[in-house]
């Protein structure tokens, strides 16, 4: 995952044992990637290469091996595996990196040990811009967290890291010209310039471009703490502690604002070698501008009739600064004003309409609407969104060619260094496949099967979305046995921002049930598949029925133990009803299976009552959803139809 553009399986397999390795003679720029590859083979197989040195079994031919990563470069590769060896060919470093990742995904346990199946793969991406945005402002994400996410990105062939470095809640980049930005705006949590250079080079080594974002003129409260003179309106200002749209924004009317931005952007442009530079540009409510006499006078003088016109003026000025420093502007879809130059890139977040509109006007665009990972929607939902779907389907081929790809976005109001991985992964892998693989690869069941497989492997890149689960459950359980809690969390799903009653502030602890729960329950998805099979043909799968019955029994028996665990525990108080519902769902599932197994028809009144009860249980509480309801519902509906 992502599925290659073309893949033909053949007979036989290449054994991956202690003699396996990469043939010498590869391009020296690939040496670090080859080391990482070998470490990953070791992780995936547990086989340590024998000290005698590997036999040459994977040969890499990279020619001319153009340096990477560059937008629009040739990322294609071919990979041939036979029982006697493997061969990887590419024209660029990025192509070779992608081929190595594909090879790692081929390794599997076979009848006589680990192996890679014989295969011919000719692969290239559908879109050139395949990104992940991490919001490092709302919650700071330390360098190791960023880096492990870069490794996971590379594993699924994402090639743009969009680094959201400033927002109302924190200014995370060290400026030497304007040190009060980070000194007053970050609570001490920021990246030094050395760290930013390190991240850029870490990403580049993995074929990933880094596009920094400094959101302006809105979302700039953290700038104003140290530099209140940049604001339209009077300070003093404080770092934003809650979330949403704040009134204070930059002053577009003072020349000093642009002098400051010229210095600051120049400084940052030197740190980030990629030609694209993101200036945000979203969510300016205009309040501060309307309230400022100076700004209003300026607007009148320049014939800028409203907030949008003022923001367009501001953007024009910033654009010139970017051009001066050799950068191309990227911005959220609000920047699409009347006089925006044609080389700007529009990132659509408010809807796919703006993407199509931009493309039809000749602007290049990337889609993020539908890829907001923090909404905690299903992988299938994100997978169904296509950059060329919806309104973009009506574009001419020339217009459609302006759509460069898309970006999954992870806003961190409700995620921190500990939980962010579990909010990004594995679902971002489904988005990665949407950006890479041919458009007709779109079966969600097939996607989920591969997502689960890649999910295990992603953990070996260093992200902790699976491994920190036990720790988070342990924290909730305190000194008590964690078992019944695990049963409940496994059967539940976390919901995203805006769905709960939690007071959202920066320092609100992310230590609750919802924070441990995953956006999608893998185990419940298995039960749904089983339930569908059984509802379609109940007599065909007695083992499946036994499995469902066993799991329902575990659920039914769980609440008594859970209530003991939760007693006097403030963190678990809010899910006591959820636990009762899980046990009720289990008991209901057993009854339904009893009806399935007997010749007695289920009374329709009983079925209706159960259906109402399931509908009640389904309503989320404490920001979590009882996923367990779904397989029970499938069985009940099958029973009604019988």
Binding site for a second copy (CB under 8 A): 18, 43-48, 50-51, 108-113, 187, 416, 418, 450, 452-453, 456-457, 459-460, 464, 466-471, 474-483, 507, 509-511, 515, 522-523, 526, 543, 546-547, 549-551, 553-554, 556-558, 560-561, 568-572
C-beta of 157 vs 561, nearer to a second copy = 561
Facing residues of 117 across strands? 13
Give the count of beta carbons closer than 10 Å to the beta carbon of residue 525.
Answer: 21
Closest by Cα among 472, 425, 490, 496 to 145 = 425
C-beta of 217 vs 240, nearer to a second copy = 240
What's the closest the beta carbon of residue 75 comes to a second copy, in angstroms?
Answer: 24
- Alpha-carbon distances, residue 503 vs 248, 318, 517 (angstroms): 22, 36, 19
User: Nearest 10 degrees: CA dihedral of 257, 366, 160, 184?
Assistant: 30
Cα–Cα distance measured from residue 171 to residue 213, given in angstroms and rounded to the nearest whole number: 11
Tokens of 218: 């809105």
What's the closest the beta carbon of residue 47 comes to a second copy, in angstroms?
Answer: 5
C-beta of 96 vs 477, nearer to a second copy = 477
What's the closest the beta carbon of residue 478 comes to a second copy, in angstroms?
Answer: 4
C-beta of 44 vs 222, nearer to a second copy = 44
Taken in order 321, 325, 328, 329, the sign of the CA dihedral is: negative
C-beta of 522 vs 637, nearer to a second copy = 522
User: Contact, 366 vs 407, CB < 8 A?
Assistant: yes
Cα–Cα distance measured from residue 630 to residue 378, given in angstroms and rounded to the nearest whole number: 14
Cα–Cα distance measured from residue 622 to residue 579, given in angstroms and rounded to the nearest whole number: 12
Cα–Cα distance measured from residue 140 to residue 166, given in angstroms and rounded to the nearest whole number: 10
Cα–Cα distance measured from residue 100 to residue 229, given in angstroms and rounded to the nearest whole number: 51
C-beta of 398 vs 505, nearer to a second copy = 505
C-beta of 259 vs 467, nearer to a second copy = 467
- Alpha-carbon distances, residue 150 vs 68, 205, 224, 629 (angstroms): 15, 10, 31, 36
C-beta of 74 vs 452, nearer to a second copy = 452
User: By three-state DSSP, how is residue 8 classified?
Assistant: strand
What's the closest the beta carbon of residue 358 comes to a second copy, in angstroms?
Answer: 39
What's the closest the beta carbon of residue 169 comes to a second copy, in angstroms?
Answer: 12
User: Contact, 166 vs 137, CB < 8 A?
Assistant: yes
User: By three-state DSSP, how is residue 3 classified?
Assistant: coil
Instruction: State the first-to-last Cα distance of the chain, in angstroms, to the nearest integer.
Output: 38
Cα–Cα distance measured from residue 626 to residue 489, given in angstroms and rounded to the nearest whole number: 9
What's the closest the beta carbon of residue 511 comes to a second copy, in angstroms?
Answer: 3
Closest by Cα among 60, 127, 58, 120 to 93 = 60
What's the closest the beta carbon of residue 547 comes to a second copy, in angstroms?
Answer: 4
Q: What angle do CA 271, 275, 280 make, to 5 degrees?
A: 85
283 in active site: yes
Q: What angle do CA 436, 446, 380 make, to 5 degrees?
A: 70
What's the closest the beta carbon of residue 555 comes to a second copy, in angstroms?
Answer: 8
User: Contact, 492 vs 596, CB < 8 A?
Assistant: no
Whether a cis peptide bond, with omega within 30° of 0, leads into 305 is no
Give the count of beta carbons closer than 10 Å to the beta carbon of residue 338.
Answer: 7
What's the closest the beta carbon of residue 459 comes to a second copy, in angstroms?
Answer: 5
Biggest CA-to-CA distance, the chain: 84
Catalytic, out of 108, 283, 399, 452: 283
Cα–Cα distance measured from residue 604 to residue 589, given in angstroms and rounded to the nearest whole number: 16
Cα–Cα distance measured from residue 281 to residue 283, given in angstroms and rounded to the nearest whole number: 7
Tokens of 122: 């000719």
What's the closest the beta carbon of residue 490 comes to a second copy, in angstroms?
Answer: 10
C-beta of 262 vs 541, nearer to a second copy = 541
| DSSP H or E segment with residue 114 | strand 113-123
C-beta of 194 vs 471, nearer to a second copy = 471
Active site residues: 283
């Amino acid at each position: 995952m992502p599925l290659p553009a073309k893949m033909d399986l053949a007979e036989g397999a290449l054994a991956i044992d202690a003699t396996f390795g990469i043939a010498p003679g590869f391009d020296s720029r690939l040496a670090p990637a080859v080391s990482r590859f070998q470490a990953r083979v070791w992780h995936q197989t547990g086989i340590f290469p024998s000290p005698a040195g590997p036999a040459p079994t994977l040969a890499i031919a990279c020619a001319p091996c153009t340096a990477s990563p560059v937008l629009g470069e040739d990322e294609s590769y071919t990979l041939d595996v036979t029982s006697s060896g493997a061969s990887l060919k590419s024209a660029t470093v990025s192509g070779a990196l992608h081929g190595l990742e594909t090879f790692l995904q081929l390794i599997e346990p076979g009848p006589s040990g680990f192996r890679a199946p014989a295969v011919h793969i000719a692969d290239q991406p559908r879109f050139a811009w395949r990104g992940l945005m991490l919001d490092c402002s709302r919650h700071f994400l330390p360098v190791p967290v960023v880096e492990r996410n870069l490794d996971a990105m590379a594993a699924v062939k994402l090639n743009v890291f969009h680094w959201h470095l400033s927002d109302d809640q924190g200014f995370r980049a060290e400026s030497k010209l304007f040190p009060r930005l980070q000194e007053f705006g970050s609570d001490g949590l920021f990246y030094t310039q050395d760290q930013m250079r390190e991240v850029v080079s870490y990403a580049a080594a993995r074929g990933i471009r880094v596009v920094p974002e400094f959101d302006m003129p809105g979302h700039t409260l953290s700038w104003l703490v140290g530099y209140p003179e940049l604001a339209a309106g009077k300070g003093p200002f404080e770092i934003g502690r809650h979330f949403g749209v704040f009134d204070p924004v930059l002053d577009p009317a003072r020349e000093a604002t642009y002098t400051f931005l010229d210095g600051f952007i120049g400084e940052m442009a030197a740190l980030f070698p990629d030609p694209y530079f993101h200036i945000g540009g979203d969510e300016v409510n205009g309040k501060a501008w309307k309230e400022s006499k100076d700004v209003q006078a300026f607007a009148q003088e320049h014939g800028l009739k409203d907030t949008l016109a003022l923001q367009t003026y501001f953007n024009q000025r910033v654009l010139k600064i970017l051009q001066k420093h050799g950068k191309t502007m990227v911005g959220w879809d609000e920047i699409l004003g009347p006089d925006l130059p044609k080389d700007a890139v529009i990132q659509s977040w408010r809807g796919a309409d703006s993407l199509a509109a931009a493309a039809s006007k000749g602007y290049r665009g990337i889609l993020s609407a539908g890829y907001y990972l923090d909404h905690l929607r299903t992988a299938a939902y994100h997978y169904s969104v296509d950059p060329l779907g919806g309104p973009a389907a009506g574009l001419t081929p020339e217009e459609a060619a302006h759509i460069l790809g898309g970006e999954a976005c992870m806003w961190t109001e409700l995620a921190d260094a500990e939980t962010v991985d579990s909010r990004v992964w594995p679902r971002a892998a489904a988005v990665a496949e949407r950006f890479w693989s041919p458009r007709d690869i779109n079966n969600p069941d097939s996607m989920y099967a591969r997502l689960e497989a890649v999910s295990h492997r992603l953990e070996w890149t260093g992200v902790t979305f699976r491994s920190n689960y036990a720790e988070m459950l342990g924290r909730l359980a305190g000194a008590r046995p964690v078992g019944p809690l695990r049963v409940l969390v496994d059967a539940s799903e976390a919901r995203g921002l805006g769905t709960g009653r939690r007071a959202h502030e920066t320092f609100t602890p992310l230590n609750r049930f919802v924070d441990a729960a995953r956006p999608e329950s893998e185990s419940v998805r298995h039960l749904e598949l089983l339930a569908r099979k059984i509802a379609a043909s109940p007599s065909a799968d007695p083992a499946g029925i036994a499995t469902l019955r066993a799991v329902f029994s575990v659920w039914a028996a769980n609440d008594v133990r859970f209530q003991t665990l939760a007693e006097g525990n403030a963190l678990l108080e809010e899910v006591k009803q959820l636990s009762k519902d899980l046990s009720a769902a289990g008991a209901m599932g057993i009854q339904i299976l009893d009806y399935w197994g007997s010749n007695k028809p289920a009374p329709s009144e009983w079925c209706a009552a159960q259906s109402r009860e399931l509908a009640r249980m389904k309503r989320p509480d404490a920001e979590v959803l009882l996923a367990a309801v779904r397989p029970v519902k499938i069985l009940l509906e099958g029973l009604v139809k019988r």
